[in-house]
Structure 1
């Protein structure tokens, strides 16, 4: 069995990935956490504190993974050091790293959606950090690095959905952006797409996002309606505008059931 280490396994995406990969019964899955034990796979968890980045070497040498999946959050500088150590370990041991990046690597250019082969261009610390991680990982691992850029991610237990529902229940205004265009994905679908990438040994950069691009305001209004809320206070803001979306030239590498649109994300979130 291949040993798989999920960095950040207690988060929304990490939890979904562990659940999905466990279905294959061919992986020995381990995970790291910081403060809260993951809700699943608790017998194979390792505490990882970014304040002690040397700790990752102990985790790697103890587990000896062939595959590392990073959904890690935390201090940007320490994360970069940690991912460098992970990449060097995997290079020495012929392992693979699947690194979750973000739409924000393109957040300095809202003029158009961005494809896998577009050069990253960011104005924010978060986007610049992700670009630095992508570059470092690829430099070290080359074809054994897989970069997975994701848009706004929703899940049934996601903080984003909980905050929306709480705001509505508390009669607070929901801010929407009628001039901002984006795409989305769900934790469950991303986990399925990643598992397919690993199973089929696909390499390179992937943009894992809904194939359609929706107006942010329109998406929120459709989601709120499907959640069953009739009267909701809306605060329309024109501060954010333009295209903040990922497009993919590689979706033909996926079977039809792994291709998603914003309607499917809403259906998943509102299914009983």
Structure 2
């Protein structure tokens, strides 16, 4: 049976990158919300808004064998949608789920980086929702679930790097956090890693992050310095008097070396100049 992939949230930055990564290799369909009307002409994109529509009906219509969830929207509605997803997978035992989670599940832990088997603790609405969604999937369909936790995801066309280029061009203010220690990755690496996880049918919790860490301000200052001579006005924002960690690191479920990334590689990829971007 051919692998039929459905990407929930295919109109977003990460979801659309995954669609472009997979559509040449698999039968891929995706969802978009009606705010993104540009996708309405695409025959494999389905209009689905988490606050309004039934996910169970959509799943029964498309009959995917792999579901990648990168949904956005109201957290309560998202959780209800993932309960409908669970109900679908329970009666379709050959279906697998890749849930794209976040480093936010550890945002109440400040003293150390976090690894795959650490207990999530969050103090934000986003982090608490992500924990609830992870628990829902792992508690009901653990053998069919992969949890993909992401750090800060950058790339030449990522929102943060586009904003940084604009601030450099106009000598505008760009906020950085000198006391925040993070890990990072690029959208290209995430797509490569998810492709590998699907091909190998891997299950469990994965931290798709760099093997090392960096201070938030150092990351963006180094990217900016490699981009060109113009610099933005870096505005230092201090949320504490000492270093706080919002970093996830791979340890237990490390992917093979070609599918790993370092902070330096993130910096190199993000600092490609606009001439190279236009050629691509």
TM-score by length of 2: 0.91
CA RMSD between the two structures: 1.8
**Paired residues of 2:185 and 2:208 also in contact (CA < 8 A):** yes
1:72-92 deviation line (CA, Å, top 9, x unaligned): 111000000001101210121
Deviation at 1:222, TM superposition (A): 0.5
Q: What CA distance in whole angstroms lies between the structure 1 residues aligned with 2:40 and 2:183? A: 29
Give the SS at the match of 2:209: coil
| Residue 268 in structure 1 maps to residue 230 in structure 2 | no
* Structure 1 unmatched runs, 5+: none
Q: Which residue of 2 aligns with 1:195?
A: 195
Question: What SS does the corresponding residue of 1:153 show, helix, strand or coil?
Answer: strand
Deviation at 1:22?
Answer: 2.6
Cα deviations by residue, 1:159-211 (Å, 9 ceiling, x for unpaired): 21122222232322222222111011111110110110111111110000011
In 2, Cα distance between the equivalents of 1:205 and 1:3? Answer: 22
User: Could you tell me which of 231, 243, 247 is aligned with 1:245?
Assistant: 247
Does structure 2 conserve the Cα–Cα contact (< 8 Å) formed by 1:68 and 1:98? Answer: yes
* Deviation string, structure 1 residues 47-88 (Cα, Å, up to 9, x no partner): 00122242x122111110011001111100000000110121
C-alpha separation between the residues in 2 aligned to 1:41 and 1:160? 28
Partner of 1:7: 8
Residue pair 1:10, 1:37 contacting (<8 A) in 2 also: no
Query: Shift in Å at residue 4 of structure 1?
Result: 0.6
Listed as ranges, the gaps of 5+ residues in structure 2 are none
Q: Is the Cα contact below 8 Å between 2:39 and 2:45 reproduced in 1? A: no
Matches within 5 A, 1:89-128: 89-94=88-93, 95-128=95-128
> Structure 1 residue 207 and structure 2 residue 204: aligned?
no
CA–CA separation in structure 2 for the residues paired with 1:246 and 1:265: 15
Q: How many Å separate the matches in 1 of 2:257 and 2:51?
A: 43
Aligned to 1:150: 150
| Matched residue, 1:255 | 256
Tell me the TM-score normalized by structure 1. 0.93
Partner of 2:179: 179
Whether contact under 8 Å (1:53, 1:78) holds in the other structure is no
**Partners in 2 of 1:218 and 1:39 — Cα distance?**
37
